[in-house]
């Protein structure tokens, strides 16, 4: 790799160069698209363009490095960055959208490079549970899920609404199944149906109470060889000794009180033992997804340059995206894209300025669980180039507990029976079992009426005796640090708990008593918890008459601080049905494509089902690469 890196005296190879050679045998990359004068080098090799002096390059590096980025109007060639490498396609970001785009481009015979800011690959996708919402994919159809294109179209139109153009919704639904098939064909990834993981609005037309989401099969990490060391770690790494799928999580929370829960726990252990006996490194969820996509890229000879952040986009004199400016080993250089640039650099969850500019208060960067490199660099570059932005006020929200070290994205804990959410007035304000994104939307809407940021999750000892809470097994005490951080409180009476968290005691007492009455009758007259099939996904089947509702009677009581967390933001560049980036007037920025959280979500302000971020991210990466190949 770079033998003559512009502006550098001695150059280091990209971080993955060793592993790249392992996988680069199968296909020559882009020799047809080599710039004049470099015909003898393989695509991706770096050569200094004739006439670009070291001083020019350094001067330009200083300019960009100082943050004086190209203004939107200045879509001009930037000769100081004359091509140091050339590909048909440059993909920015190695997450769900980026690696799928690169895999597709390679499968279509294009030369492609992935540039990645982090020292690891996988982004938020590697951290994730890797639920994937793709209606009518071959995996669920083979499993007998009674999905149809008409059902999916009706359902998506209902949840995404008119915010999202119908042709984008249709493009997602049409290409999603093709994308899954392509990934299965061109990588070691297989997928499994998450049976029973209901769509988030199953009662709406086209909704599926038994679910249509999939997740990756178990994958042997050794397939990646030494590149496994560069896999971005999981948000909460699976402990040694078990192999856990996303779909197991529901049952593991019930492992000590439910026969199926115990059986699933045992199965997790036996999967691990079997994999260990086979000498494998078992990966599941986001770790399997990212590793599997990366393995596909290795086999196709697609380089992934780690530690190589996008600095800006480049445009030719006709205004067409012609490449990217990056930093590599502290040196600013450029990569030419003859076919197009696909921005898959994730959201802006870790960019405080953008969050404050676009999102509702209170907001910050401490409550997100998204990959820390997701600072909206691609969105900002697109904006400078004239892209319109959509959905910037929104995110893939979910209630989170600000535990010391990292926020905890709270799924089952919020909806298991024996829990309620209250606001600063000590009263309930939402159906605790509603989809996580909706709960936070309600928090923001209601916060102006009666403060519910932070809100409080209240549970009793009966709840604590029955259910796993994060990784703390039932009955065991929570870590002292949780209490010391002010995220968790414990008291022997509701009145004392109210005092500790600063809400009116009589109001909290009345709230608990009223809720206990609902638990007895099985009907939540206030917020209808349990009316939807979805509400029952993370609950306890042993609790009757309504598995979502149990009385809070057994002291001590616990309160957990709840803040608006997120899995990442969902607003970004406006794109069309071909993932092409659009200006506000609807015109296309030629050669520029965006997918995943760098683009406005096809879900609009909603969340159709488990996997509604990764499914579309991968699909629009696939669509973008195909659009380039077709053009």
Ligand X SMILES: Cc1cc2nc3c(=O)[nH]c(=O)nc-3n(C[C@H](O)[C@H](O)[C@H](O)COP(=O)(O)OP(=O)(O)OC[C@H]3O[C@@H](n4cnc5c(N)ncnc54)[C@H](O)[C@@H]3O)c2cc1C
Q: Which stretch binds ligand X (CB under 6 A): 42-50, 219-227, 339-347, 428-436?
A: 339-347
Residue 525 C-beta: closest distance to ligand X, Å: 33
Q: Which stretch binds ligand X (CB under 6 A): 127-135, 153-161, 179-187, 273-281?
A: 127-135
Residue 257 C-beta: closest distance to ligand X, Å: 25
Please say whether the beta carbons of 543 and 462 come within 8 A.
Answer: no
**How far is residue 436's CA from residue 411's CA, in Å, rounded to a whole number?**
7
Question: Which residue, 488 or 618, is less far from ligand X as judged by CB?
Answer: 618
Interface mask toward ligand X for 97-116; x: CB under 6 A: xx----------------xx
**How far is residue 242's CA from residue 240's CA, in Å, rounded to a whole number?**
6
Question: Which residue, 201 or 515, is less far from ligand X as judged by CB?
Answer: 201
- Ranked by CB distance to ligand X, the top (closest) residue is 95
Note whether 340 binds ligand X by CB under 6 A. Answer: no
Note whether 292 binds ligand X by CB under 6 A. Answer: no
Rounded to 5°, angle at Cα 149 from 144 and 151 = 85
**How far is residue 435's CA from residue 531's CA, in Å, rounded to a whole number?**
13
Note whether 332 binds ligand X by CB under 6 A. Answer: no
Q: Is 170 exposed, middle or buried (0-12, 13-18, 19+ CB in 10 A)?
A: middle
Note whether 346 binds ligand X by CB under 6 A. Answer: yes
**How far is residue 160's CA from residue 139's CA, in Å, rounded to a whole number?**
24
Residue of 56, 631, 39, 534 whose CA lies nearest to 334 = 56
**How far is residue 346's CA from residue 128's CA, in Å, rounded to a whole number?**
13
- Find the binding residues for ligand X in span 530-569 (CB under 6 A): 567-568
**How far is residue 601's CA from residue 169's CA, in Å, rounded to a whole number?**
10
**What is the Cβ-side half-sphere exposure of residue 405, based on CA atoms within 13 angstroms?**
7
Among 363, 608, 614, 624, binds ligand X (CB under 6 A): 614
Q: DSSP secondary-structure letter at 432? A: T
Residue of 103, 110, 111, 125 whose CA lies nearest to 182 = 103
Please say whether the beta carbons of 593 and 581 come within 8 A.
Answer: yes
C-alpha distance from residue 497 to each of 74, 234, 272, 477 (Å) = 59, 34, 42, 17
Residue 120 C-beta: closest distance to ligand X, Å: 8
Among 118, 139, 223, 422, binds ligand X (CB under 6 A): 118
Residue 504 C-beta: closest distance to ligand X, Å: 35
Among 16, 88, 220, 377, binds ligand X (CB under 6 A): 377
- Residue 54: how many CB atoms within 10 A of its CB? 12
**What is the Cβ-side half-sphere exposure of residue 458, based on CA atoms within 13 angstroms?**
35
Among 104, 345, 415, 419, binds ligand X (CB under 6 A): 345
Q: Which two tokens stand for residue 527?
A: 């917020």
Interface mask toward ligand X for 399-428; x: CB under 6 A: ------------------------------
Strands 304-305, 112-115: parallel, antiparallel or unpaired by DSSP?
parallel
**How far is residue 265's CA from residue 271's CA, in Å, rounded to a whole number?**
10
Residue 19 C-beta: closest distance to ligand X, Å: 17
Residues binding ligand X: number (CB under 6 A): 43
Residue 275 C-beta: closest distance to ligand X, Å: 22
**How far is residue 16's CA from residue 373's CA, in Å, rounded to a whole number?**
18
Question: Which residue, 258 or 308, is less far from ligand X as judged by CB?
Answer: 308
Among 105, 371, 416, 562, binds ligand X (CB under 6 A): 371
Note whether 596 binds ligand X by CB under 6 A. Answer: yes
- Find the binding residues for ligand X in span 295-314 (CB under 6 A): 309-310
Please say whether the beta carbons of 532 and 521 come within 8 A.
Answer: no
Residue 69 C-beta: closest distance to ligand X, Å: 12
Among 5, 117, 355, 529, binds ligand X (CB under 6 A): 117
Note whether 93 binds ligand X by CB under 6 A. Answer: yes
Q: Is 485 exposed, middle or buried (0-12, 13-18, 19+ CB in 10 A)?
A: middle
C-alpha distance from residue 456 to each of 435, 444, 559 (Å) = 17, 14, 6
Among 153, 369, 392, 508, binds ligand X (CB under 6 A): 369
Name 458's bridge partners: 420, 559
Question: Which residue, 124 or 511, is less far from ligand X as judged by CB?
Answer: 124
Note whether 96 binds ligand X by CB under 6 A. Answer: yes
Note whether 92 binds ligand X by CB under 6 A. Answer: yes
C-alpha distance from residue 522 to each of 55, 115, 468, 491 (Å) = 75, 54, 23, 27
Residue 600 C-beta: closest distance to ligand X, Å: 12
Residue 142 C-beta: closest distance to ligand X, Å: 21
Note whether 594 binds ligand X by CB under 6 A. Answer: no
Among 43, 46, 113, 130, binds ligand X (CB under 6 A): 130
Question: Which residue, 255 or 369, is less far from ligand X as judged by CB?
Answer: 369
Residue 451 C-beta: closest distance to ligand X, Å: 27
Residue 174 C-beta: closest distance to ligand X, Å: 19
Q: Which stretch binds ligand X (CB under 6 A): 94-102, 200-208, 216-224, 438-446?
A: 94-102
Residue 347 C-beta: closest distance to ligand X, Å: 7
Question: Which residue, 382 or 611, is less far from ligand X as judged by CB?
Answer: 611
Helix, strand, coil proportions of the chain in percent (round to 5)?
Answer: 35, 20, 45
Q: Which stretch binds ligand X (CB under 6 A): 338-346, 437-445, 539-547, 623-631?
A: 338-346
**How far is residue 364's CA from residue 113's CA, in Å, rounded to a whole number?**
33
Interface mask toward ligand X for 224-253; x: CB under 6 A: -----------x----------x-------
Q: What is the 3-state secondary structure (H, E, C) of 129-175?
A: CCCEECCCCHHHHHCCCCCCHHHHHHHHHHHHHHHCCHHHHHHHHHH
Among 60, 107, 110, 125, binds ligand X (CB under 6 A): 125
Note whether 64 binds ligand X by CB under 6 A. Answer: no
Residue 249 C-beta: closest distance to ligand X, Å: 10
Note whether 344 binds ligand X by CB under 6 A. Answer: yes
Residue 349 C-beta: closest distance to ligand X, Å: 9
Chain mean position to CA 50: 42
Interface contacts to ligand X, rule CB under 6 A: 92-98, 115-118, 123-125, 127-131, 235, 246, 309-310, 344-346, 369-371, 373-374, 377, 396, 567-568, 596-598, 611-614, 617
């Amino acid at each position: 790799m770079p033998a003559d890196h512009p502006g550098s005296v001695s150059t280091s190879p990209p971080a993955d160069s060793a592993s790249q050679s392992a996988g680069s045998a199968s296909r020559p990359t882009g020799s047809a698209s080599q710039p004049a004068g470099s015909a003898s080098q393989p695509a991706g090799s770096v050569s200094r363009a004739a006439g670009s002096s070291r001083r020019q390059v350094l001067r330009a590096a200083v300019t960009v490095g100082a943050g004086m980025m190209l203004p939107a109007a200045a879509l001009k060639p930037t000769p100081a960055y004359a091509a140091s490498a050339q590909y048909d396609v440059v993909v920015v970001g190695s997450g769900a959208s980026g690696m799928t785009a690169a895999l597709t481009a390679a499968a279509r015979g294009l030369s492609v490079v992935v540039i990645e800011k982090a020292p690891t690959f996988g982004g938020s996708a590697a951290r994730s549970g890797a639920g994937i919402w793709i209606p009518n994919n071959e995996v669920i159809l083979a499993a007998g899920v009674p999905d149809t294109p008409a059902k999916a179209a009706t359902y998506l139109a209902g949840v995404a609404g008119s915010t999202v153009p119908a042709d984008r919704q249709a493009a997602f639904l049409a290409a999603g199944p093709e994308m899954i098939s392509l990934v299965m064909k061109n990588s070691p990834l297989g997928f499994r149906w998450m049976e029973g993981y209901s769509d988030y609005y199953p009662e709406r037309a086209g909704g599926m109470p038994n679910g249509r989401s999939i997740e990756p099969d178990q994958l042997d990490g050794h397939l990646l060889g030494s590149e496994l060391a560069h896999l971005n770690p999981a948000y909460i790494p699976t402990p040694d000794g078990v192999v856990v799928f996303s779909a197991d999580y529901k049952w593991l929370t019930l492992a000590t009180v439910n026969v199926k829960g115990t059986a699933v726990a045992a199965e997790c252990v036996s999967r691990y033992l079997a994999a260990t006996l086979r000498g494998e490194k078992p990966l599941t969820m986001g770790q399997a997804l990212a590793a599997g996509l990366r393995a596909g890229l290795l086999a196709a000879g697609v380089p992934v340059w780690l530690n190589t952040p996008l600095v800006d986009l480049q445009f030719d004199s006709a205004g067409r995206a012609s490449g990217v400016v990056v930093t590599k080993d502290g040196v600013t250089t450029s990569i030419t894209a003859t076919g197009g640039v696909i921005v898959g650099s994730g959201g802006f969850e870790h960019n405080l300025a953008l969050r404050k500019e676009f999102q509702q208060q209170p907001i910050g960067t401490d409550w997100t669980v998204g990959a820390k490199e997701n600072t909206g660099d691609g969105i900002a570059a697109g904006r400078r180039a004239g892209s319109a932005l959509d959905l910037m006020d929104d995110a893939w929200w979910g209630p989170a507990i600000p535990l010391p070290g990292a926020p905890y994205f709270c799924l089952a804990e919020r909806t298991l029976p024996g829990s309620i959410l209250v606001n600063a007035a000590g009263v309930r304000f939402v159906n605790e079992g509603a989809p996580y994104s909706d709960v936070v939307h309600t928090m923001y809407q209601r916060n102006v009426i009666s403060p519910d940021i932070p809100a409080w999750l209240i549970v009793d000892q009966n709840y604590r005796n029955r259910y796993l809470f994060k990784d703390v097994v039932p009955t065991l005490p929570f870590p002292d640090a949780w209490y010391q951080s002010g995220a968790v409180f414990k008291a022997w009476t509701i009145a004392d708990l109210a005092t500790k968290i600063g809400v009116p005691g009589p109001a909290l007492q009345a709230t608990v008593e009223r809720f206990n009455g609902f638990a007895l009758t099985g009907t939540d007259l206030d917020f209808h918890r349990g009316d939807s099939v979805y509400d029952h996904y993370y609950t306890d089947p042993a609790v009757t008459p309504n598995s979502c509702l149990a009385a809070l009677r057994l002291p001590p009581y616990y309160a957990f601080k709840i803040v608006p967390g997120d899995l990442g933001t969902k607003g970004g560049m406006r794109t069309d049905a071909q993932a092409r980036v659009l200006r506000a007037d609807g015109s296309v920025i030629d050669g520029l494509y965006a997918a995943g959280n760098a683009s406005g979500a096809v879900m609009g302000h909603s969340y159709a089902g488990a996997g509604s971020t990764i499914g579309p991210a991968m699909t629009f990466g696939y669509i973008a690469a195909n659009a380039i190949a077709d053009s």
